Structure formats: structure tokens, C-alpha cells
Structure 1
Amino acid sequence: MISTGDLVTRKSYSNDIIFRVQSTGGPLIKLMGEHIRLEADAELRDLQKVTGAEYHRIKEKVDEQESYSYRLFRQDYRLLREKRESEAGNGYSSSNESNYFQIPPRILHVDGDPLFLKKCIALYEQLGLQVHGQYLHEKEMPSQIMSLIEKVHPEIVVLTGHDSYSKAKGSMRDLESYRHSKYFVEAVRTIRQKYPHFDQMVVFAGACQSHFESIIRAGANFASSPQRVNIHAIDPVYVAARVAYTSVTSHINVWEVIRNTISGESGLGGVETRGLLRIGIPYSKESYDDL
């Protein structure tokens, strides 16, 4: 018996991905990826419950991938900081002690999956970034994104959740062949009507197998998925973090952004973008927290 909340795999796909059952009403079972941002439907007979041992085996592998990406980001963060201090010279240092403070941008992360949202918020906090998280179904994003932006006043907006491409619906070039890509496109287009400058507000949008080209043309700085592959739940966080910790005086090499992600260049891409970290002097321990 398959019930809502159960962990399952699909026999027709060689049990390659673990899904969580979202609903069981109707002829097809609605599924959400447990570790990746993929939404799918399947017949009951195609599903196989995941055993505890199998889940923990896959979870260990996922945890290793996440830890590796986190270590890569921390290494890059240290290099970015050393570069800022070197370029600043004596202006930002005194007696080998930091004499400056830094202000990362505010981030709005809108997610179509409440469990993934919780996980992403924890990672933002671990990285020392200020974030406002909001759960919204992908269909609601175009109509509600501007009210959230006006409330939060972010400099980085992340729009993500679940998506998928269906060959049965049409060509890979056709936006209607995708479950939620059109909503990401509409939401990005809505943002760009008010904030057309790519360096004034940096936007990431997309999920697994999303229509990368349409999202980029709509005005996103970064998007998924160039090769229509699945992306990991936390990949959008690393994209936002790289922008947040790059100085406003520097442009970001797109490859340097995506190399720390689990999905890599097959799953993520973007356009040249300026960083959003601002440096100030002098630093006073009584007045500022070194972010």
C-alpha cells in the first residue's frame, strides 16, 4: 500500500531517484524528488517503496556531495576575502587586523517545496547570509513575487521549486512541454519590468529540467537547466551565495559560480553579473558585526 509521505522509486527508471509521495488521488501518483528539484507522476504499479537501508545508503552519498560543495564554497570565500584585502591594501587593514566591515545583500528565496525551503534557509544561515524565505506554489509566483519584493527589498531573488520536461507534451523547445517553467519565466519577466538592470537585482530561477533559454531570455541572471538535467535541492543557494560574497567592484565568472554546485554546468548557467558585497570602513566592534 502506497500512502502520502512514503518514499518510493520508479521501476521504469531503474529505481534511480527517490521520490516522496505527495498525493495518491486519481490514476497517477504525484511525486516530488526527495533530494532533487524534480516533480513527476507515475502509475501505482510502477512504484516501489524505499527500504530504510536503501534510503540511508543514498542519503550518505547525498550528504557527501553537499559537504564537498560546502567545502569548495568556503575555499572560494577565503580566496575572495584575501583578494579584497590584498586589493584594498593598507586602506582596509591596520597592524594586520581587519579594519573594515562588509555588508552582504539581502536575499529573497521563494521555493515551491517547503521542505527544501527549510533546508536552504539553514544553509544560508550557515553561510552567514541574511535571507527571507517564502513558500509559494510555482503557479503563484508570477502574481505574488512583486508584493514579496516590495516587502523584503532584496538585492538577490531566488525562484525555485520543482519542474520537469515531458516528451509526451511536445518538443524540448516548447515551453508548454514543461511542468512549471512558464511560471518561472512569467515571474522573472514581472521582476524585470520593475527592475530592468541586471546588477540592481540579481535573479536566479528554475528547477529540475527547466527551460533554461526561456528563463534567461526573460531576464534571469542565472537559471537551470541547460542540458535539461536534474538539479540538487541546494544548488540555488550556492549561486546566490557566490553573488552575495563577490564585491560590487568585481564581475563574476559564470563558471566560478556553477563549479561549486552539485549539478555543475549541465544543470546551471547564466550571464556575466556584478557581485553585490559592499565594503565599508572603519570597522568598530561596538557598532558592527563582521558578516
Structure 2
Amino acid sequence: MNVVDFKVNDYVLIKNDDKIYQIEAIEKNIAYLKGLTYRFQTTSLISELTVAPTHLVEKAIKKVNEIIDRFKISSKSRDKHQMIYGTILHIDGDKEYLNSCMDLYKEMNIFANGIYLKESEIKEKIEELVLMLTPDIVVITGHDLYNGKGFKELSNYRNTKHFMDAVRMIRKHFNSESITIIVGACGSNFEALIASGANFSSSPKRINIHTYDPAVIAIKVATTSINQTVDFGQVLKYIENKKDAFGGIETKGKMKVLL
């Protein structure tokens, strides 16, 4: 396939890498890529790319959808006429992923505000948004990347520092019991994000997380009673990479029961 045949939104594979990517932009001989179902971005020489076979793309999407379908079924027993669920502010650095998560919230009858912001812009907007919208739960996600050069050094992460700054802005006004914060993307510095004030974050083993992982946790928090601790073990049933992908601290739910 000739270089000129590649275009934005094509699904591709990188040489010696079995993950499927989508082209976000092309500049000269460089392609800017994001994961098809994973929350990370990277770049590659056009010469290193091949077209991803349709059956592999469909298989990857089907795998994620099967997990989410199981999650939906597990939550259908809730009596939505007796409960007031926690509200969510979902801030995402990826428009497509944001729309997917918003569709999931809607289907699960969870009220959510969704806002697209570049990861570097979140810290500038988050304080105003939280004070204006007064959510019970805040999701801060998008894309991140760990370069493998050392767990502790923040400069080795593309967006972890931006996520940390956003969390700290919220914690200036609200503690971990007032607002539950779920933060991070692929390869994020888990320890740094928890230390900055997050309730749940990625990525303990610096691995990839799926599109829906932060939203699944947010829904579980929103539908767990304020008198109960979120059963994180139940949440992990619907996160493919389990505790390697997401961790957190003991956190109460945000659902209130009508009397």
C-alpha cells in the first residue's frame, strides 16, 4: 500500500505491535495515532504501518462491547424509581470516547455532564466547572503515555502531571468524601494520582485501559448507597486488565434512597 493511500480515521497496525490504532492526523511521513479501544496516543512512521484487517477491528470492538453488555445486564435490577443516583461530570481529552461514555451513562439512567477538553487545558477549567455543576463524581480522562524510562519521574508521562493538577484544583474545595474523583488514562502514574487526591486512578502496572473503564467505575459509585463502600471487586469484573489497570482507596457510594 502506498503512503498516500493512508488517511485520517483509517485503522492500522504498527510493525511488531498487535494493537489496533486509528489515524488522527498525518504530517509528512509521520502518523499520529490513538488506540482503537485503549486510551493512549502515539506516533509512527507511515512506512511502519499496515492496514488493520476488518475482522481484527471487528473482533476488538466486539470484545469491549461484550464486557459493557455484561455490565449493563448486571445493573438492570436497580429500581430507579426508589433511588437518586450520584451525578457525574465527565471530562475527556477524546471526543469519540467521551460520546461513547455519555451514551453509556444515558442508557444506565445516570445523569452526567460531558465536556471535551485537551488534557493540558483541564486544570484551567476544572475549578469553574465543578463549582458551577456541583457533581458528586468527577471523571478526568483522555490519553496518557508512559515511556518506560522510570516509574517515579513525572516527565516520563505525557499527561499525568496535567491530571494531577486538575485533581488538586478540585481538592482545594472538596475532600475525597465530598466528591469522588476517577482519573487517568493508559499508563498513567497511579501512585502520583492517588497522592494528589484521586479516589480511583490508573494505571498501577502502567498498562493500557479501555475506553469505558473510568465510566464503569463512575457508574458503580453513582449507584452504590452513600452508606456503603463501593465494591471494587465487582467493578473489576468489567475491567479487562483488573487491578493492573485501575486501583483506588476505600470510597463510599453516592446513591440516596428515597423515603
TM-score when normalising by structure 1:
0.82
Distance 1:175 1:276 in 2: 32
- 2-side partners of 1:164 and 1:77: how far apart? 35
SS of the residue corresponding to residue 63 of structure 1 reads: helix
Q: Which residue number in structure 1 is paired with residue 200 of structure 2?
A: 222
Bigger Cα displacement from structure 2, 183-192 vs 40-49: 40-49
TM-superposition CA deviations, 1:3-38 (whole Å, max 9, x none): 22222111032xx11111122225632111121101
Note the alpha carbon deviations across 1:50-104, whole angstroms, 9 max, x for none: 2xxx2344323432443234324532663xx5xxxxxxxxxxxxxxxx8972111
- Unaligned 5+ residue runs, structure 2? none
Asked if the contact 1:28–1:44 (Cα under 8 Å) also holds between the matched residues in 2, the reply is yes
Residue 287 of structure 1 corresponds to: none
- 1:183 equivalent in alignment to 2:162: yes
Supply the distance in 2 between the matched residues of 1:272 and 1:70 (Cα, whole angstroms). Answer: 26
Cα distance in 2 for residues equivalent to 1:99 and 1:72 = 16
SS, match of residue 265 in structure 1:
helix
Matched residue pairs, number? 255
> Are 2:11 and 1:7 equivalent residues in the alignment?
yes
Q: Distance between the aligned counterparts of 1:57 and 1:18, measured in 2?
A: 8
Q: How does 1:52-201 map to 2 (within 5 A)?
A: 54-72=53-71, 74-75=73-74, 78=77, 81=78, 101-167=82-148, 170-195=149-174, 197-201=175-179
Q: CA RMSD in A?
A: 1.9
Q: Give the structure-2-normalised TM-score.
A: 0.92
Q: Is the 8 A contact 1:69 1:261 kept in 2?
A: no
| Higher percent of residues as helix | 1
Show CA shifts across 1:212-266 (max 9, x none). 1101100000000111111110111110011011001111233232232233111
Q: Using the alignment, how far apart are the partners of 2:74 and 2:22 within structure 1?
A: 34
Deviates more, 1:131-140 or 1:99-108: 99-108
Letter in 2 for 1:4: V
1:236-275 equivalent positions in 2, closer than 5 A: 236-275=214-253
Contact 1:245 1:275 in 2 (8 A): yes
**Aligned twin of 2:31:** 29
% identical aligned pairs: 31
**Bigger Rg, which one:** 1
Instruction: Quote the offset at 1:130 in angstroms.
Output: 0.4
